[in-house]
Amino acid sequence: MKQIRNTHAKTEILNLINDSEVALSHSDIQKRLGDLCNRVTIYRVLERLENEGAIHRVVNVDGVVNFAKCIGKCTHEQHFHNHVHFNCKKCHSVTCIENVIPEISLPDHFIAEEYNFIISGICPKCNA
């Protein structure tokens, strides 16, 4: 099994995502890191962190990919993100909303194993 080394860039990117209340886009991460590493390194680190089960990707309603910390039992084999994502129409933030489970009624013979919901509206910060 290949050993994945912890680089300074990987540590900083993971800290940024873990410390953020909203999901961060590649562009957000690149701005916050400054000159620490280039955009290709950021893409590679994000892919590695996702594969390790440390972060998950969320595609917002504009098609922008955002990254948020994994909460719970994610592994490099499988992610478990059955929660709602809230996309603010004003500030374009994407927030993971845990412990909210929408009722889903599927036709016979369909078995839901995971889901990904994005709700659009105005976040509390913009609604204040």
Annotated ligand binding at 91? The verdict is: yes
Residue ranges per domain, the chain? 8-127
Q: Rounded to an integer, what is the distance from CA 93 to the centroid of its chain?
A: 11
Residue range 58-90, pLDDT digits in tens = 888 788 899 988 876 665 565 556 678 888 989
Annotated ligand binding at 126? The verdict is: yes
* Residue 3 confidence (pLDDT) above 50: no
Annotated ligand binding at 70? The verdict is: no
Annotated ligand binding at 74? The verdict is: no
Residue range 34-62, pLDDT digits in tens = 888 899 999 999 999 988 888 988 888 78
Tell me if the pTM is above 0.85. Answer: no
Strands (E), the chain: 24-25, 55-59, 65-69, 84-88, 94-97, 117-121
Residue linked to tokens 């009624």: 105
Fold of the 8-127 domain: Arc Repressor Mutant, subunit A (1.10.10)
